[in-house]
Amino acid sequence: MTLNYDSTTDSLYIDLSSKPSSDSREISEGIVLDYDDEGNVTGIDIDNASNKVDLEKIVLNKVPAEVEQLSA
């Protein structure tokens, strides 16, 4: 899973899968879910993210994976 924030557009994309998306649906104003061919969610796109999500702090709790931090 990868979180990508673009400050120029104030959008946050949460990439949940390496599978390509084949469909997208807006589930709420400015929040779009991407789906693969099997109907699984592959990503979440959040417009105006700084108004919808706390971008100052990310907490991973009991995630069984390696955490990699990339600088902006």
Total domains, the chain:
1
Q: Could you report the per-residue pLDDT of 2-52, keeping only the tens digit for each?
A: 999 999 999 999 999 999 999 999 999 999 999 999 999 999 999 999 999
Q: Could you report the per-residue pLDDT of 31-43, keeping only the tens digit for each?
A: 999 999 999 999 9
Task: Determine the structural domain holding residue 42 and report its residue range.
Answer: 2-52
pLDDT band at 60 (very low <50, low <70, confident <90, very high): confident
pLDDT of residue 72 exceeding 80, the answer is no
Q: Does any domain span residue 60?
A: no
Q: Does any domain span residue 27?
A: yes
**DSSP sequence for 3-49:** EEEETTTTEEEEE--SSPP-EEEEEETTEEEEE-TTS-EEEEEETTH
